[in-house]
Each structure stands twice: as C-alpha cells, then as structure tokens.
C-alpha cells in the first residue's frame, strides 16, 4: 500500500495532507523486522502495512487495519461526539483516532454503547461496525459487570428482586440481573446482559434504593486493567480481543 494511503487510513488527514506530511519529512517508517525508523519522502512508496510502525510529527503510531481501543472513562464526561453539558470522551483520544475514515456519516472510532456522564470505567471504542454491533446487540447477551454503590444498605430481599426481575416504566417485561454479588453493606457487583437507558439506576430505584456511584469493571471476559488510569486509553491487545469473543 502507498505510504500516503496508509497515513490516510490511520486518520492523519486527507490524502493531500498526508502527502504533504511525507514530502516535508514529518513521516518515518519502520517495516516489520527493520532495525530502526527511517524518514520516507515519497508519498507513493509502497509498504507492507502489516507490522508497520509510523512516526508522524514525533508521534509513534503502529499500523492498525481496524481500531480497537479501551478507555477508562472518567466521571463528568459524555459518550457523545456532540456533548450537551459535559466534555466528550472523544477529546481524550488522539486526533487520528477521531479522524479515521469510515463508511458511515461519522468519522473516527465510535463508543461501543454509552455510559452516563457520572458513570466511570471500561469503555470500548472501535471503527469496526461488526464488532460494535456484536458487543452492543441485546441479542448477543454480552455480560457487563457494574460496581454499584447505593445510598441505603442493600438487603437480601432487594438482591432477590434484582435477580428475579423488576419492571421498568417503559417495558412491561421484567428486566433481570444475570448475577448480583454483595461486596459490602452499600455495594453490589451487578451483571447485566442487555443495555437499556439508565438501566442500572432504574433497576436499583425499582427495588427502593438509589445509586450513589456507578463503575463498569468488566465487559465479557475483559476486565478494566488496573494500570489504566481514569482518562487514559490504549490499544486492545490480541489476547484481550479474544476474551471479548
């Protein structure tokens, strides 16, 4: 693939912008197995993109045919590219991830489902439409674990009701937790396999309690890494993608 096409596919701008970056000496390339990075001034030079490492304006960037990203969402952020009241989680990502060309109307990676502005924790983002659908579709029943801190001490009756199913105001069909484990008097680990609007908060309210803090700690077999601080992101590793399958 030509180098300007590689840069374009990674979100570094239009083809013309990418060609200009290359011609101005802002792009270094290290092919798989090569000992070091080397500046390339020819936008049309072909490279095997597999295992390719780019350095664009001082920023190291491993070539990724599809972007799979994990982010530790901080409190006070919205999972929207057009936020209404709080900063967007997309501002926590580098420009190329936000500008990657896609077939849809929106460019860049998209959040796999949404978390409320006051909810923290594991958020996946990708430009792979099939992956996003697979992870967010209610028919797939992908389990998601939430650490829920509640205002009043939780009791056995409330846990039993969450497991048996509660009726939310917009759906006569009971919504059930797949699992509910009590961590302490005011905290439970709640596992859900579907994602309705404000579902955790509404389920807790339905059993007579109130959510004080909400944190997503797991999706499928993938746990939020302990070394990923709030607001930080990184590429998903191959073994982590396998856990999500």
CB 148 within 8 A of CB 214: yes
Give, as one character, the DSSP assignment of residue 88: B
Helical ranges in 11-69 per DSSP H: 15-23
pTM above 0.85, yes or no: yes
pLDDT of residue 217: 98
User: Which residues in the chain land under pLDDT 70?
Assistant: 105
pLDDT of residue 107: 85
From 46, 116, 184, 189, active-site residue: 116
116 is catalytic: yes
pLDDT of residue 18: 97
pLDDT of residue 194: 87
C-alpha to C-alpha distance for 138 and 45, rounded to whole angstroms: 45
Q: Which residue has the tokens 């290359």?
A: 22
pLDDT of residue 140: 87
pLDDT of residue 76: 97
- pLDDT 10s digits, 148-176: 999 999 999 999 999 999 998 877 889 99
- pLDDT 10s digits, 5-46: 999 999 999 999 999 999 999 999 999 888 999 999 999 999
Going from the N-terminus, what domains does the chain have, and what CATH number goes with each? Answer: 3-62 (3.10.290.10), 68-138+222-244 (3.30.70.580), 143-219 (3.30.70.1560)
pLDDT of residue 242: 93
pLDDT of residue 223: 97
């Amino acid at each position: 693939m030509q180098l300007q096409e590689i840069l374009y596919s990674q979100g570094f701008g239009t083809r013309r912008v990418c060609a200009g970056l290359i011609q101005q000496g802002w792009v270094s390339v290290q092919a798989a197995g090569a000992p070091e990075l080397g500046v390339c001034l020819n936008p049309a030079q072909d490279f095997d993109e597999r295992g390719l490492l780019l350095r664009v304006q001082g920023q190291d960037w491993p070539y990724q045919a599809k972007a799979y990203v994990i982010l530790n969402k901080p409190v006070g952020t919205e999972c929207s590219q057009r936020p209404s009241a709080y900063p967007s989680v997309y501002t926590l990502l580098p420009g190329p991830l936000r500008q990657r060309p896609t077939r849809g109307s929106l460019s860049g990676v998209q959040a796999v489902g949404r978390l409320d502005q006051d909810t923290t924790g594991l958020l996946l983002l990708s430009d792979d439409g099939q992956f996003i659908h697979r992870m967010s579709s209610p028919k797939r029943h992908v389990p998601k674990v939430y650490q829920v801190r509640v205002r009043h001490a939780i009791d056995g009756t409330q846990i039993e009701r969450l497991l048996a199913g509660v009726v939310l105001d917009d759906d006569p069909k009971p919504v059930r937790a797949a699992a509910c484990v009590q961590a302490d008097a005011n905290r439970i680990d709640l596992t859900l396999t579907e994602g309705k609007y404000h579902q955790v908060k509404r389920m807790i309210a339905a059993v007579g309690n109130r959510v004080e803090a909400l944190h997503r700690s797991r999706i499928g077999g993938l746990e939020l890494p302990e070394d990923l601080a709030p607001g930080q992101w990184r590429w998903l590793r191959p073994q982590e993608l396998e856990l999500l399958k």
